[in-house]
Amino acid sequence: AMLGKRAAALSWSQLSPLAARWSAPSDPTSGPTCAQSRLRLFGAKESDVRVTLYRDNHAWCPYCQKCWLWLEEKQVPYKIEKITMFCYGEKEAAYKRLVPSGMLPALSIDGRMITESDRILMELERDFGPLGEPLTLALALALTLALTLALT
DSSP per position, 84-105: --GGGSPPPHHHHHH-TT--S-
Residue-wise pLDDT for 14-38, tens only, equals 888 887 776 666 788 888 888 999 9
Distance CA 111, CA 40 (A): 18
Residue-wise pLDDT for 59-70, tens only, equals 999 999 999 999
pLDDT of 25: 60
Residue-wise pLDDT for 98-135, tens only, equals 999 999 999 999 999 999 999 999 999 999 999 887 77
Task: Please name each of the domains of the chain with its CATH number.
Answer: 29-132 (3.40.30.10)
Q: Is 28 exposed, middle or buried (0-12, 13-18, 19+ CB in 10 A)?
A: middle
Whether pLDDT at 1 is above 60: no
Residue 46 gets which letter from DSSP?
Answer: G
Indicate the pTM of the whole model: 0.76
